[in-house]
Structure 1
Amino acid sequence: MPPMALLMVTLGVILGTLTVTSANHWLTAWLGLELNMISILPVIAKQKHPRSTEAATKYFLTQATASALILLSSTLNAWQTGSWDITQLNNKLSSILMISALAMKMGAAPAHFWLPEVMQGSTLTTTLLITTWQKIAPITLLYTISNHTEPIITLSIGLLSILVGGWGGFNQTQLRKMMAYSSIAHLGWTMTVISITPNIALTNIIIYMTISTPFFLLLTTTSSKTLRTMTTTWTHAPTTTVILMLLLLSMAGLPPLTGFTPKLLILDNLVMHKLAMMAVIMALLSLLSLTFYLRTTYLLTSTASPTTTQSTTLWRLKPHQNQTTTILTPVALFNITVLPALLT
């Protein structure tokens, strides 16, 4: 991509998100979402491959549908209440439509169908953008209207997302699709508690983003796209292998790693609000996600020295990639060991 085009696309993505996060009017928020969507499309389609074009088309159609629902919901609310203020979403039907539209924009179930396919057709860097930066704007809007959300709707979407995220990633061998279902499952944990304690929901999604960012960047340095190619990582990058293993376990929510903290807080708040059965079901469904995280961790460490791998080495680390690993190591370790600070 030419430098000027890359600069324009980057500014569009950043300005779109900043417009949404600072907006107080539904039309301004909608404009920011549209700018964000239009700017990310060239990034997805830049590979000039049929899979990339297909991914960009699916992303555009889904996001355009969600944007139309957001416009319909805000217009209906303004018609009934006379207010375009984001914090004044008092109409019940508008609230349900808005939650559904924002869930579709983020990729939460049952409107999750586009996320694995779009991520599979994109590069690892673009996948990182879709799972982190592109979720900031919808999460901000969801957080803003959390006082007007229907708890039964958010709990249903969250529970279904945890089930779909765990079940969908169970049989995946493609890392990008597996991480797409992981993203769906983490969105489910966020959605379940967004109407009860929004701050904990925000904490959960922020921690997920800080864990997944070094994970995707380290995958980029190794060029690993499938579980099979990850088995060759230990031979040439043992430090990267150990960090990836710890990040995966943290993402799975195993104590005492960072990913365990938001899950514990969410379950605790659900029990405090007399939703103990919901908390038990969520904890049991999270075992599905834990299965494929542990499988990936096992594949990373099963060929550790002195065992030799039977897979063909498809990549070699370059000097600049070694530098990237050196920079990412303290960042990843901070994300793994930040738990004591969060508990105090």
Structure 2
Amino acid sequence: MLIISPALLLFSLTLMAGTLISISSSSWFLAWLGLELNLLSFIPLITAQKSPFCSEAALKYFLIQAFGSAILLISVTILFVFSVSPKILIFTSLILKMGAAPLHFWLPTIMQGMSWLNCLILMTIQKVAPLVLISLTLCDQTGILFVSVSVFSAIMSGLGGLNQTFLRKLMAYSSINHTAWMLAAISSSTSLWIHYILTYSIISVSVVTIFNQNQMLHIKHLTNLSASPFNKVTLFMTLFSLGGLPPFLGFLPKMSVITNLVQSGFFIWALILTMSALITLFYYIRVAITSLTLNSPKTNQNINSINHKPNWVTLMNLLLLLPLTVLIPL
């Protein structure tokens, strides 16, 4: 029986409330207030699991987010005192809060100390408010700084994930790569990046659910899937969809972003994003091939005693992803 703590439920609700306050605010004070409420609600969720690694991750996350909030307050103060709009400072504080390169250094380290559920929240919900504030406040969205952050995020995420064997760090670099695509989508249209983050959230839920269900933290733990062909197929499909391989669901928003960038004349930007997607697809394939080909000694000894029937989590993933990956592209 699943028992949910009232405190964790309260903090989850206030976390969502902080995001809603930020994206619906009419002033910078309310936007800052929503970001702080979101931060103070996420810290207890990180430390809910009694572990020194979670406490270290919570402390690091608090310091980074507090530094980003300080930069945001300084930029807002400059906005009121002087007539010059400090867009660079505002943009810097927001990319620091959502973990885009070159201010991405904290994201893989902090995610390594979190549980899978908190990693999912950090990859999806915690990016919504900064992305909305960027899309609403930056008028010159295709400036050199905006393009540079997107390109640098794509390059660093592709190169940083190549030598990773920890799955949580791998998903962190994947999140940085998708942040680069979201920034490119913001430069095209608001509806496009909303479509992208919704699609990314659906796929991330499926991937993280499989990892959490089988308690996989390292790439060697993928051998735990060797006795469950249903989990193998689901993980294979979700990773390919996360990498944007056609005809899976993740291909659609990436194709839309590339089409809009090419139509706007940003050929180099589109090329770099496409090359980074191929690099990330390479380490997704490495994870999928590892789960398909390797068997653990424990699994080989108990292969006849394991129940091969899929549980409700696997069936939910299959029922969700099969229609989305097959019907929507058509």
TM-score higher than 0.5: yes
Match of 1:130 in 2: 122
- Code of the aligned partner of 2:19: T
CA–CA distance in structure 2, aligned partners of residues 68 and 155 of structure 1: 24
> Could you tell me how far 1:111 is from its partner in structure 2?
0.7
Q: Distance in 2 between matches of 1:294 and 1:21?
A: 36
Which residue is equivalent to 1:72? 74
CA drift at 1:161: 0.5
d(CA) in 2 for partners of 1:298 and 1:57? 36
Trace 1:195-210 onto structure 2 (pairs within 5 A). 195-210=187-202
Shift of 1:112: 0.6
Q: Which moved more, 1:323-332 or 1:31-40?
A: 323-332
> Among residues 238, 245, 255, which one is paired with 2:229 in the alignment?
238
Per the alignment, residue 251 of structure 1 pairs with 242
1:332 equivalent in alignment to 2:302: no
Separation of aligned partners in 1, 2:42 and 2:91: 23
Residues 82-108 of structure 1 show CA distances to partners (whole Å, capped at 9, x for unaligned) of xxxxxxxxx44x211111111111111
Change (3 A) 1:27 1:335: farther
Amino acid aligned to 2:268: M
Name structure 1 gaps, 5 residues minimum: 82-90, 304-308
2:296 to 289, 307, 310: 310
| Residue of structure 1 aligned with 2:9, choices 4, 7, 26 | 7
User: How far off is 1:148 after superposition?
Assistant: 4.3
How many equivalent residue pairs? Answer: 325
SS of the aligned residue for 2:30 comes to helix
Counterpart pick for 2:19 among 1, 17, 20: 17
Alignment correspondent of 1:140: 132
1:96–1:149 CA contact under 8 A, matched in 2: no
TM-score by length of 2: 0.90
What are the within-5 Å matches in structure 2 for residues 258-337 of structure 1?
A: 258-303=249-294, 309-313=295-299, 322-337=311-326
Deviations 1:43-73 (A, max 9, x none): 1122232211111111001111111112222
Match for residue 121 of structure 1? Answer: 113
Does the 8 A contact of 1:193 with 1:266 survive in 2? yes
- Structure 2 letter corresponding to 1:262: P
Runs of 4+ in 1 over 3 A off after TM superposition: 310-313, 315-319
Determine the C-alpha separation between the residues in 1 that align with 2:26 and 2:327. 33
Q: Which amino acid aligns with 1:327?
A: M
Q: 1:18 to 1:193 in 2, by over 3 A?
A: closer
Instruction: Give the structure-1-normalised TM-score.
Output: 0.87
Aligned partners of 2:258 and 2:270 also within 8 Å? yes
1:238-257 residue CA offsets vs partner (Å, 9 max, x unmatched): 21221111010011111111
Q: CA RMSD in A?
A: 2.5
State the identity %. Answer: 36
**Pairwise CA distance, 1:223:** 1.2
Counterpart contact for 2:252–2:329, Cα < 8 Å: no
